[in-house]
Structure formats: structure tokens, C-alpha cells
Amino acid sequence: MRIVDLSPEHESVFASCLEDRLPEAREAGSLRAEWIHVMKGRGLRAKLAVTDREVPVGMIQYVPASETLLDGSPGAYFVYCIWVVGFRDDRGNHQGKGLGTALLAAAEADAKSLGATGLAAWGLVLPFWMRASWFRKHGYRRVDRSGMAALMWKPFAPDTSAPRFVRPKKTPKRIPGQITVTSFLYGQCRAGNVGHERARRACAEIGSPVVYRVVDTKNMATANEWGILDALYVDDREVRNGPPLSYDKLKKRIEKAARRLR
């Protein structure tokens, strides 16, 4: 097993978060590939764990903190996710073998070589994926929290200021006579992209009085204006999008809101 830089030959499977065989990867469309294309020019870094057959089975991706919604630590980098596959097929289960630790160490070394002041990551306070406790074992400390997400931080130099989450500054407003489904679309997360695509399809199928609206938060000025990076709203109410609702449940929720206007 080797840790390598993301290369063009692996970019397609990287765009599916190494899950190119899953139906959800196709359902998510090209949104993540578009995010990668944009962010490569804005400092996106990625490492892959590959087998001796050059099959990617683990990944980590990180960006300059200025390219996400963090305040207070110029020069830092931010980890969006670490993922090691655990399939019951020919690729096998590679979890629990230290690949996550190796990927994080490689990202830290790379960020230091770029002159980063530290590495931040989000971690869940519950014992699921991207656990905050896992980062704590690797020398990170919690410096902020928003809901179930903790902001974990490892400075690379003394007296380096810790970052903070940017909080939402405003949310969509109800518009008389219509139901507005608003996608704050960043594109980084494949699972979240599935939710956005389901919302777009449902709105097209329902039709009037439902209006589907996209706010492109790859534009960081727009993201900072709202204080929102990736979210889905029906009028002024946020809809769970990680993991996303099924298509049927999401469509029923939008239809229920639309019936109030008929």
C-alpha cells in the first residue's frame, strides 16, 4: 500500500469518493467533478492510498482555510474528509488497518511543506464517520462546535491562532405565492450532491408553484454573505441533507409545502 498524490488517472474515481460502483455515485451527477475542477486552481490538495495494483482504497482532501467557511487562522488548511473503503467485493475492506492515520500524516507533512500554520478538520461528536475523538488521538484539540460537528485543530507553530466556524448570517425568506427550494451548492460532498440532485428532480416533476433555486457557494463571497456552504432549504426551513432524504421522502415534503398554497 502506498500514499500518493492525486493524479489525472485517478481523478474520476476520486470524484465519486472512491465509490464509483454505487448507484448514488451516478445519481450525484457531475457536481463533485465540477467542484474539483474549480478548486484545483484554488489550492485543493488530495492524497490517495493505492494498492499494489494501483487501485485507490483511501483518500484525504484538504484546502486552504480561506477557501471554506472558517475565521481566525490565516495560513491554515482544512480537511474536508478522510475515507477508507470497506467494500464486500473484490476491492475488499481496508478499514481498521491504519490507512486513515497514514493519510492524515501525509496531509500534515504536505501542509507543513506549503508553509501552513496548522491543519483543521471537522469531526462528528457522535461515534460515526469522521469522529472528533479519532482526531483527538492524533493530537488535535476541539476549538469550536456547531451542532454535531466539532472543529478540530492542530497548530504547526506556537502562538498560532485557532480557527472558528463561520455561522449562518441569514437564511432564505418565504416568497408569497410560491414554494422556493434553495440549494446552497458547494459540490464537495458526494452524499450532499445526491440530495441536491433529488431536490432538482422533484421540483421539476412537481412544477408550479415550486421554484428551484441554486446559490453557488463555490464563490466564497457568496458563501460568506450567507454564512452557509452546503445546505438545502424548503422556503425558510432547512432539510436534512447529510445523509440526504430519499427521493420519495423529499418529494413528499416539498409537495406538502406546495399544498398549503393550493
Residue 54 CA neighbour count, 13 Å, CB half: 7
Q: Give the CATH number of the domain where residue 223 resides.
A: 3.40.30.10
Question: Is residue 105 within 8 Å of residue 98, measured between CB atoms?
Answer: no
Per DSSP, 163 falls in state P
Structural domain count, the chain: 2
| Overall average pLDDT of the 178-186 stretch | 98
171: in domain: no
**What CATH number does residue 97 fall under?**
3.40.630.30
What mean pLDDT value characterizes the chain? Answer: 94
Share of the chain above pLDDT 90, in %: 84
Question: What is the structure's pLDDT at 261?
Answer: 84
Q: Clarify whether residues 104 and 78 are in a common domain.
A: yes
In a domain, 157, yes or no: yes
Grid cell for residue 25: 455515485
Cβ-count burial of 118 within 10 angstroms (0-12 exposed, 13-18 middle, 19+ buried)? Answer: buried
pLDDT of residue 88: 66
Together in a domain, 15 and 108: yes
pLDDT, tens digit, 9 for 90 and up, residues 36-86: 999 999 999 999 999 998 999 999 999 999 999 999 888 999 999 999 998
Q: Is residue 192 part of a domain?
A: yes
Choose the final residue of a domain: 108, 134, 165: 165
Identify the domain boundary among 137, 165, 193.
Answer: 165
If you average pLDDT over residues 171-185, what whole number do you get? Answer: 96
- Using DSSP, state whether 253 is helix, strand or coil: helix
Does residue 8 form part of some domain?
Answer: yes
Q: Looking at 117, 136, 165, which one is the last position of a domain?
A: 165
Residue 89: its pLDDT value, please? 67
Residues 99 and 133 grouped into a single domain: yes
Residues 119, 189 share a domain: no
Residues 112 and 205 in one domain: no
Domain of residue 76, residue span: 2-165
Q: How many CA atoms lie less than 13 Å away from 138 in the CB half-sphere?
A: 23
Same-domain pairing of 245 and 128? no
Whole-number Å distance between alpha carbons of 121 and 180: 32
For residue 29, how many other CB atoms are within 10 A of its CB? 16
